[in-house]
Structures are given as C-alpha cells and as structure tokens.
Amino acid sequence: MSVKKSKTKDLSEQFIVDELLRFWHSMSHYPVYLHNLRACWRAQSEDRDSPYREAYRLALKRTEM
C-alpha cells in the first residue's frame, strides 16, 4: 500500500488519519462534541482546496456511527 504525501507539510495521510482518530477516541465521552467534530471533518473533506481532504474523508469513514 502506498502512502500519499501532503503537498504542503510533507506529512503522510496515514499519520494525519491516525492523529484525527486518536483525538476522536480521546473525546469519546463528549457525544455532542463528536457530532460537531464530524461536521467539521465533513466540511474539510468537501473543501477542494484542503491539502488534507482525503485524510479527513478517511477519518470520517472510520468514525461512522
């Protein structure tokens, strides 16, 4: 499996996804916050100018409720 590099900060998508999911799990006791967090991630995943668009899309997919 190849890992894509970000165009702006040279971070791999997998690293970003892992960090997003780590934060997700640390906030798991705040369900309202998680709903808002997913809304933010959804907006980022739909933003064509976002360098981390695919990472946010993958994080959303892995946190589906």
Q: CB under 8 Å to 45, separation ≥6 — which residues?
A: 53, 54, 56, 57, 60
How many Å apart are CA 1 and CA 51, to the nearest integer?
Answer: 20
1: pLDDT strictly greater than 50: no
Could you tell me the two tokens for 10? Answer: 């040279």
Query: What pLDDT sits at residue 46?
Result: 94
> Model's pTM, two decimal places?
0.69
Q: Which residues pair with 12 in a beta bridge?
A: 5
Query: What pLDDT sits at residue 47?
Result: 92
Give tens-digit pLDDT for 5-57. 545 556 788 898 999 999 999 998 888 899 999 999 999 999 999 888 999 99
Cβ proximity of 12 and 51 under 8 Å = no
Could you tell me the two tokens for 48? Answer: 């064509």
Residue of 29, 5, 3 whose CA lies nearest to 52: 5
